[in-house]
Structure 1
Amino acid sequence: MAVHDDLLLAAETPETPIAEIVGVGHDLIQQAEVFISSLWRPWILYQILIFVGIFLAAHMVRHIFAPRLRNWIKEREDWPMWRIRWMLVVHRRLRGIAFVVIIWLVIFVMQEVTWNSRSYLLQIIGNLALAWLLVALTTRLIGNPFMRGVARYTLWAWITLRILGLTDEFSALLDSAAFHIGEVRFSLLQLVQAVLIIGVLWIGARFLSRTATGRIRGNNDISPSMQVLAVKAMQIALYSAAVFIGLRTIGIDLTGLAVLSGAIGVGLGFGLQKVVSNLVSGVIILLDKSIKPGDVISLGDTFGWINSLGARYVSITTRDGKEYLIPNEDLITGQVVNWSHSNEFVRLDIYFGTAYSDNPHDVRRIAIAAAQSVDRVLSSRPTVCHIVGFGDSSVDYILRFWISDPTGGLTNIRGNVYLALWDAFAENGISIPFPQREVKVLDDSVLSTRQID
């Protein structure tokens, strides 16, 4: 009793946050005591028994129909993927759906044959079950698992308090847990409101971002680099607006953060020079359109095509399946070969040699015809073959041809042209010489004397 009197005394003098918390907690405890004491009434006990029976019935419905529903979904091969996913959600929530349907049928029957007060507890349970089910189904529209979980549990908690009529008491309890920084007061209620409001705005910004991104990328009049820049700028604007509006809605003054953000910016400028350099370089790449997704580039020993342009790096995939993340700064300061910057046409050179006994005019004609017989070699651009020198063992040639699909690879097309040259030379009797050396043994040498012995 002494402890109880102390709690009452603290609740009567709410000058401190602790006294406010104790006072609100005392009210909640009293309501809980009243609710627990009412559970022993006969008309409450039989509602609890009806609730247990409905839950068991819903569990039996799931046990019987869930396997059949799953097999039925597997047979719907012609359905679109989104419809199959929603049916799988229904399959997972089959017990909850059955429980809601059964309990509201029972409530409707009880309201027709008896007083409404006899089904009061079942109505509360039915409202909770229906609200929880609707929240579980609607939050499936949120793609991010973390954001979906936050939204789901937050809505569940808020709806439960709303149906039970405890929103005022719970709000007062959260608001009493507060602290001051100067003249600014922060409470746990503000934190919950901030998470809820910013979460909703963040989900809305994410939905708008995805919708606008699809339309921007589907517009062929906008270049790929400008599409990436527009998408990044839009995402930054939407997410920043979500956070700013959310903080302003709960009453946090952001004007005082201007000086702090300036100081933080100076510190970040010194500590994150490389990061900032890559970010600025990324913006420059998007603006000058020097490279764009789909371009084939060479940077040092790396040769591949660009998958995506990020804020900090560029993703490049090579022919052997490796994905390189090249910092944007390296693309700005280094020498980059863009094989498809202004057009897709690429000229390739290969070198070969033939014997001195072969007619150079025939060799040139046969080499050009062999190169043009390869599929990827363009016939619209001239293929040429020139003599580049007279070597020790062969007449040296260069064969130049054009392709329009560098993303298909360069080594493989060179290999195909070499193979075509081999077949054409073999068919026309043209030989490919290799170095040969003739060794002459002198009569009075040591090697000659050993052979005689």
Structure 2
Amino acid sequence: MTAYRRPQPIDDFGLWIEGFKQPGVLVEIAALAVCVALAWGFSKLLRNALRMQDDPSSVLFGRSVVDGAMFPLVLLLLAYVARAIVFKFLPMTAFKVAIPVLVALVVIRVGVKVLQAAFTTAPWVRVMERTISWVAWLAMVLWVSGLLPVVLAELGEITWKIGSTTLSLRTLIEGSVTAGAVMILALWLSAAIEKRLLRKATGGDLSMRKAVSNATRALLLFVGLIVALSAVGIDLTALSVFSGAIGVGIGFGLQKLASNYVSGFVILAERRLRIGDNVKVDSFEGRILDINTRYSVIRSAAGRESIVPNELMVINRVENLSTAITRVWQTSVVTVAYGSDAELVSRLLLQAIDEQEAALKEPAPQASLSAFGANGLEFTMAYWINSGDAPVQLRLLSQINNRVLQMLQENGIEMPYPQRVLHVKDMPALAAAQASAGHEAG
């Protein structure tokens, strides 16, 4: 039985210094410079060919050529090719440092850009970006210094048993790294598919593509999770033991969550409610900005946003104001003083409505004496408007009311203030008290 020999790190940094003093290092540096120029030129040409200049959210390119993942990926590939060529003639020194640095850079850029594309507003993305950066640079330092094999060997000796499976800390770490890579790849593919599907889509087409996008992301993440568990070393057959408990958890503890997810797919599949529709849900009225698998985002005309669980959109009554018939019946009440000419007031109200192009002429608008109010004659003017947009309705109502006010003033028709008449009866006690007070004063 052979004894275990632990790999030794390169601890003589003097050899590194001497290696960098050799003339061959200049050749390596020149080869790396050529690789950088070629990688930059290829990335720029590909970016222009794909017309990605105006897409700062691209994972491959970002806001500039070197900001995305394409430049470090191409540079790493060219560096490997250059190292293989130069190694036939010269010993390696600069490439031993450049390759680990480029690998760390690729990991950081790909991980960060994918997280930014998949989770644009999540607050924990910044923490994950820093974690990926620190882990990648730490692994690079261990690789360059030669300590990485030593650390992995020490971690491999820390083992424990879970049932019939023996796990080591090294296996767990390597599996976690593999799982992270698989999940990042799944998120990358799902984000790319979602972006491709939702590009230039509107109305019902947008809702259907959103449903396909959500289903694709869920499928990719599920496959990535299975691969990740296998990479960590967990026997997937053992998960069958927990299937019953998971079913009970979904049935009780996760009932609402599962209901919201199912409702989200139902809404997107039926396409009765679509992104961009004006709806009224539970006394909240606004435009649907997004329909996710668990909730929908509705923004009111005042700019307030409401996150509505999809279950409420299915089980409750929802008024869709953006239907095929967009005509809306709008009314307004005008009060004038008693004694005013009712026929003249009706004509003026109809004239104020007819002057607005947004008010439909057919069916014809109406203006009639509707009630005898406490303060004056109440006239109701009503008309149809061919728009379900609340801001458009409010703007038209304001324009008509302003015109009505102007025309009533021009024709001398009074709009009365609220009035109350108070009658005080002459009571004997009150009169006697007033007379007594006057006598004392005299």
The TM-score with structure 1 as length reference comes to: 0.67
Instruction: Measure, in 1, the Cα distance between the counterparts of 2:211 and 2:62.
Output: 35
CA 1:139–1:282 in structure 2 vs 1: closer, same or farther (change >3 Å)? Answer: closer
1:176/1:187 contact within 8 Å kept:
yes
Q: Which of residues 54, 63, 75 is equivalent to 1:85?
A: 63
CA 1:251–1:343 in structure 2 vs 1: closer, same or farther (change >3 Å)? Answer: farther
Query: What residue in structure 2 maps to residue 427 of structure 1?
Result: 410
1:359-378 equivalence runs, <5 A: 359-374=341-356, 376-378=358-360
1:9-408 equivalence runs, <5 A: 12=3, 23=4, 27-28=6-7, 31-32=8-9, 35-36=10-11, 39=13, 45-47=17-19, 80=54, 82=56, 85-86=63-64, 89=67, 116=90, 120-129=92-101, 131-132=103-104, 141-144=113-116, 173-217=154-198, 218-220=200-202, 222-248=204-230, 252-374=234-356, 376-379=358-361, 382-403=364-385, 404-408=387-391
Once structures 1 and 2 are overlaid, which stretch shifts more, 215-224 or 317-326? 215-224
What whole-Å deviation, never above 9, does each CA across 1:199-245 have from its counterpart, x for those lacking one?
33323322322232233323448444333322221211111111223
Query: What is the letter of the counterpart of residue 269 of structure 1?
Result: G
What whole-Å deviation, never above 9, does each CA across 1:405-429 have from its counterpart, x for those lacking one?
4242654543333222111222233
1:174/1:187 contact within 8 Å kept:
yes
SS in structure 1 of the partner of residue 415 of structure 2: coil
Structure 1: 5+ residue runs without aligned partners? 1-8, 13-22, 58-78
Query: What residue in structure 2 maps to residue 3 of structure 1?
Result: none
CA 1:159–1:383 in structure 2 vs 1: closer, same or farther (change >3 Å)? Answer: same
1:142/1:148 contact within 8 Å kept:
no
CA 1:383–1:124 in structure 2 vs 1: closer, same or farther (change >3 Å)? Answer: same
CA 1:395–1:347 in structure 2 vs 1: closer, same or farther (change >3 Å)? Answer: same
Q: CA deviation at 1:156?
A: 6.1
2:203/2:275 contact within 8 Å kept:
no
Query: What is the letter of the counterpart of residue 274 of structure 2?
Result: K
Instruction: Measure, in 2, the Cα distance between the counterparts of 1:49 and 1:290.
Output: 73
What whole-Å deviation, never above 9, does each CA across 1:120-139 have from its counterpart, x for those lacking one?
44452344445555655666
1:147/1:199 contact within 8 Å kept:
no
Instruction: Measure, in 2, the Cα distance between the counterparts of 1:263 and 1:131.
Output: 42
Instruction: Measure, in 1, the Cα distance between the counterparts of 2:252 and 2:425.
Output: 78
Instruction: Measure, in 1, the Cα distance between the counterparts of 2:424 and 2:330.
Output: 46
Query: What is the letter of the counterpart of residue 86 of structure 1?
Result: S
| Aligned-residue CA RMSD (Å) | 4.7
Query: What is the letter of the counterpart of residue 36 of structure 1?
Result: D
2:281/2:318 contact within 8 Å kept:
yes
Instruction: Measure, in 2, the Cα distance between the counterparts of 1:130 and 1:205.
Output: 23
The TM-score with structure 2 as length reference comes to: 0.68
1:290/1:341 contact within 8 Å kept:
no
Structure with the higher fraction of residues in helix conformation: 1
CA 1:230–1:372 in structure 2 vs 1: closer, same or farther (change >3 Å)? Answer: farther
Structure 2: 5+ residue runs without aligned partners? 30-52, 117-124
Instruction: Measure, in 2, the Cα distance between the counterparts of 1:407 and 1:416.
Output: 14
Instruction: Measure, in 1, the Cα distance between the counterparts of 2:369 and 2:384.
Output: 19
What whole-Å deviation, never above 9, does each CA across 1:102-155 have from its counterpart, x for those lacking one?
xx9xxx8xx99xx945xx444523444455556556666434356666666666
Query: What is the letter of the counterpart of residue 162 of structure 2?
Result: I
Instruction: Measure, in 2, the Cα distance between the counterparts of 1:359 and 1:313.
Output: 56
Instruction: Provide the identity percentage.
Output: 24
CA 1:359–1:253 in structure 2 vs 1: closer, same or farther (change >3 Å)? Answer: same
